Structures are given as structure tokens and as C-alpha cells.
Amino acid sequence: MKILLVEDNLELAQSLADLLRQHAFVVDHVDRGDAADQLLTQSHYDLLLLDLNLPQLTGKALLRRLRERGDSLPVIVLTASDSLDQKVLCLEIGADDYLVKPVEIRELLARMQAIARRQMPARDNHVRCGNLQLDLRTRLFSVAGEELALPPRERSVLEALMLQNGSALSKQRLMDVIYGMDEDASADAVDLYVHRLRKKLQASDTTIMTLRGVGYLLKQKLPGGE
């Protein structure tokens, strides 16, 4: 999951970003609403963590712009205000959730997991492809009930493919998923992660297919082969 954190308190933003990265999320941070608006039109994110009192463009104005252009990106508002009127307004204009700072990381993670579940057709805690399973609560993989241990970027690639529900992902989209905006993205590295994942999935009935000119697709192997 790739997250855009929009927060002008740099100390708080750094602390929160570090905690999220410890849980294997890719996090980009900006401290102005206009900068966030520009990023959201250029890059793919899975979640927006949005402060309200931002310079240049307020959080509420950014949220309105996002929804007016038809962007359904999940948004969790993080604010110091516990005003009920403000909470109701944010939810009415398109926020998916509203948390009052200081934020407890366990609660934030639980809210993020709830949003992820709502986006899955079955609204289950588990996503499956053959005997490969992803637990949305822990973000851990298992094959036929046995845990599949993966380093962070391989896990991000496999998670992105799992959550596509049988649709292909382009190499560029996978690069967006695993790299933050301050990192040097490498298409060759994506190929390497996919190669390593294929080896680790050999004991499963799931494989990663290469669709030339399209990208990668996670699918269940056919009986007797792929």
C-alpha cells in the first residue's frame, strides 16, 4: 500500500511516516495542500492521510477537488480538531474516516485495514488466489496455510498483484507501488522482484504471468502446468 501523508507539522509527519514504514508501507510526505493536489494528479496512491490546516490549499479544499474530479481515493482526515460539525462536514464532502490527533498507530492501522476490506468484493479479511492467501489484518502471506516470509519490497509487489483481483498491473504501476518519490525507481529491480517471487511461489498453485506490453498478472496455475 502506497500512502500520501499531507501534514505541515514536520516532526509529527516524520514520526508517523517512520512508524508506517516500519509496517512495510511506502509513504510519501508533503507539507502543502497545493503540492499534494499536484502529486495526486500525477501518481497513484492507495490512501491519503490528510491534515486540514495546510498552507496554500486547505485539507477540506483539497478533499473537495479530489471528489469533484471523480477520484475515489480513500481519505482519512487527521486533525487536532474534535469538532463534531467539522467531522460531519469532512465526511459529507468525501472523507472515508476522521481521526483526532495525537493518533495512536494501532488505531490508524485498524482504520486503514477496515478501508482495505471495504474495497474488496467479498469484504473479507483474506484475499486468495489458489492456495496463496493474504491476510489484510496482518499483511502476511501464506501458502496452503504455511507462512510465506517475504522482504518488504517483494511483499509490496505481491500484495499489489493480489489486490488487483485478476487484472494485470503494468511495470510502471508496480514501480509506483514500491518506490517513494525520494527514491530512485528501477524497472530492472521490478523484474528482479518478480523473478524472486516466482521462485518462492513454485510450491504453490499460483504463478505470476508476464503479459507482453501490458505487465504482470497473478493467477492460479492450470492443472498440469501454468
What pLDDT score was predicted for residue 31? Answer: 93
Using CA atoms of 174, 175, 177, 181 in order, give the dihedral in degrees to the nearest 10.
-170
Alpha-carbon gap, residue 108 to 20, rounded angstroms: 10
1 SS3 class: coil
The fraction of the chain above a pLDDT of 90, given in percent, is 50
What contacts 38, CB < 8 A, 6 or more positions away? none
Stretch 1-26: mean pLDDT: 90
Angle at 111 between CA 82 and CA 118, to 5 degrees: 125
Higher per-residue confidence, 91 vs 183:
91
Alpha-carbon gap, residue 37 to 21, rounded angstroms: 22
Is residue 181 within 8 Å of 171, Cβ to Cβ?
no
pLDDT in tens, 114-124: 887 776 655 56
What pLDDT score was predicted for residue 224? Answer: 58
Is residue 98 within 8 Å of 63, Cβ to Cβ?
no
pLDDT in tens, 140-195: 899 988 999 998 889 889 998 988 877 898 888 888 888 877 777 778 888 999 99
Q: How far apart are the first and last CA of the chain?
A: 28
φ and ψ of 39, to 5 deg: -60, -40
What pLDDT score was predicted for residue 124? Answer: 64
pLDDT in tens, 48-81: 999 999 998 999 999 999 999 999 899 999 999 8
Helix or strand (DSSP H, E) at 38: helix 33-42
pLDDT band at 136 (very low <50, low <70, confident <90, very high): confident
pLDDT band at 132 (very low <50, low <70, confident <90, very high): very high
pLDDT band at 135 (very low <50, low <70, confident <90, very high): confident
